[in-house]
């Protein structure tokens, strides 16, 4: 019952307008590309349906990924000492296998939700929860990006960028010539506006994807990168020192391919234990 109530709140909460606007804009742009004299429409009229069908499927995948990321639990800390089991879905017998650290760092108790914060977690004022390996709160998806949905967020950005660049190319192919500027704007005004919107979105997504891949390759988060001078476990580190960095390849492999829970205290203290 509680899970259903949380899902209902996620769908119809404050992010409902943002998500609705995103979906409407996506399908309006797709419809424009098919209604104007673009390559997509020409191929459809000739019966060459491979690219039009692939494009629509890719748009659908991007929308599904968008909702998956925006409605997914980003890794909320639900209670003291039980965040691993509940937030990451670890069974009790698996939790018993996680070896304790021989060193300890005093966990800070959150001043808002009064829960002990695991390392790399932060309280989100918008979501009103502490989030494990907090990256940032994204107003685009009206959700936090954290330990559970960060890789899906990056995958969504990659798919969305592919859709936008493909759509930009198709919109550009739909421009027609005219004897005067007035007639050209009258015939191509909608496509021109579409190109402008898609170009701005493409640049935004490209910058977001590039920055996230860069931070992932360093095994750091947006919050840690921007606020390391205020974070207790990073204050004593040098400007170029990152206690979680295990090398670019291992960082990327751990981010995209490791689906288990990581005890960040073990990585921080360099105890040589592999992530669980």
Higher pLDDT, 168 or 99: 168
Judged by average pLDDT, the poorest of 58-72, 178-192, 193-207 is: 178-192
Is residue 70 within 8 Å of residue 11, measured between CB atoms?
A: no
**Maximum C-alpha span of the chain:** 78
Continuous segment of H or E residues that includes residue 274: none
The predicted pLDDT at position 15 comes to: 79
pLDDT score for 132: 92
Q: Lowest-confidence range among 69-73, 76-80, 125-129, 180-184?
A: 76-80
Question: What is the pLDDT of the chain when averaged over all its residues?
Answer: 83
Q: What is the C-alpha to C-alpha distance for residues 179 and 184, in angstroms, rounded to an integer? A: 7
91 has a pLDDT exceeding 60: no
Q: Which residue has 């891949």 as its token pair?
A: 213
Q: Is 235 exposed, middle or buried (0-12, 13-18, 19+ CB in 10 A)?
A: exposed
Is the pLDDT at 80 greater than 80? The verdict is: no
The answer to whether residues 149 and 255 touch, using CB atoms and an 8 Å cutoff, is no
How many C-alpha atoms does 124 have within 13 Å on its Cβ side?
26
> Would you name the residues annotated as active-site residues?
138
Specify the pLDDT at position 106: 55
Instruction: Report the share of the chain in percent with pLDDT over 90.
Output: 58
- In the predicted structure, residue 111 carries a pLDDT above the cut 80: no
- pLDDT for 258 equals 84
b/e map of 90-113 (b: 16 or more CB within 10 Å)?
beeeeeeeeeeeeeeeeeeebeeb
Per-residue burial over 179-207, b = 16 or more CB atoms within 10 Å of its CB, e = otherwise: eeeeeeeebbeebeebbebbeebbeebee
pLDDT at 16 (0 to 100) = 86
pLDDT at 115: 81
- Digit-coded pLDDT (tens) for 33-68: 999 999 999 999 999 999 999 999 999 999 999 999
Higher pLDDT, 8 or 254: 254
261 or 134, greater pLDDT: 134
> Tell me, what's the pLDDT at 114?
76
pLDDT higher than threshold 90 for residue 273:
no
pLDDT tens across 136-181, in order?
Answer: 999 999 999 999 999 999 999 999 999 999 999 999 999 988 888 9
Is pLDDT of 249 > 90? Answer: yes
End-to-end CA distance of the chain: give it in Å, rounded.
Answer: 31
**For residue 97, what pLDDT is reported?**
35
Residues 8-33: pLDDT tens digits?
455 555 678 899 999 999 999 999 99
CA distances (Å), origin 223, targets 133, 144, 159: 9, 12, 24
Give the pLDDT score at 7: 47
Residue 107 pLDDT class (50, 70, 90 cuts): low
């Amino acid at each position: 019952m509680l899970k259903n109530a949380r899902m209902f709140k996620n769908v119809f909460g404050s992010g409902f307008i943002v998500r609705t606007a995103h979906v409407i804009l996506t399908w309006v742009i797709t419809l424009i590309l098919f209604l104007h004299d673009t390559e997509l429409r020409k191929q459809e009229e000739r019966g060459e349906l491979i690219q039009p069908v692939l494009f629509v499927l890719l748009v659908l995948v991007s929308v599904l990924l968008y909702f998956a990321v925006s409605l997914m639990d980003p890794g909320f800390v639900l209670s003291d000492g039980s965040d691993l089991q509940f937030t990451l879905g670890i069974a009790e017998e698996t939790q018993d296998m996680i070896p304790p650290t021989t060193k300890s760092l005093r966990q800070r108790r959150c001043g808002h939700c009064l829960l002990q914060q695991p390392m790399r977690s932060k309280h989100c004022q918008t979501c009103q929860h502490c989030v494990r390996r907090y990256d940032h709160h994204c107003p685009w998806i009206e959700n936090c990006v954290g330990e559970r949905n960060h890789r899906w967020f990056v995958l969504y950005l990659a798919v969305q960028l592919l859709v936008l660049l493909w759509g930009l190319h198709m919109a550009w192919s739909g421009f027609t010539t005219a004897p005067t500027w007035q007639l050209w704007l009258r015939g191509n005004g909608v496509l021109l506006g579409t190109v402008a919107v898609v170009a701005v979105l493409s640049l935004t997504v490209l910058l977001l994807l590039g920055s996230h891949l860069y931070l992932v390759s360093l095994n750091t988060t947006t919050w840690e990168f921007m606020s390391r001078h205020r974070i207790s476990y990073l204050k004593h580190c040098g400007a170029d020192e990152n206690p979680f960095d295990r090398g670019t390849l291992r960082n990327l492999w751990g981010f995209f391919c490791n689906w288990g829970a990581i005890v960040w205290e073990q990585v921080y203290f360099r105890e040589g234990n592999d992530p669980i």
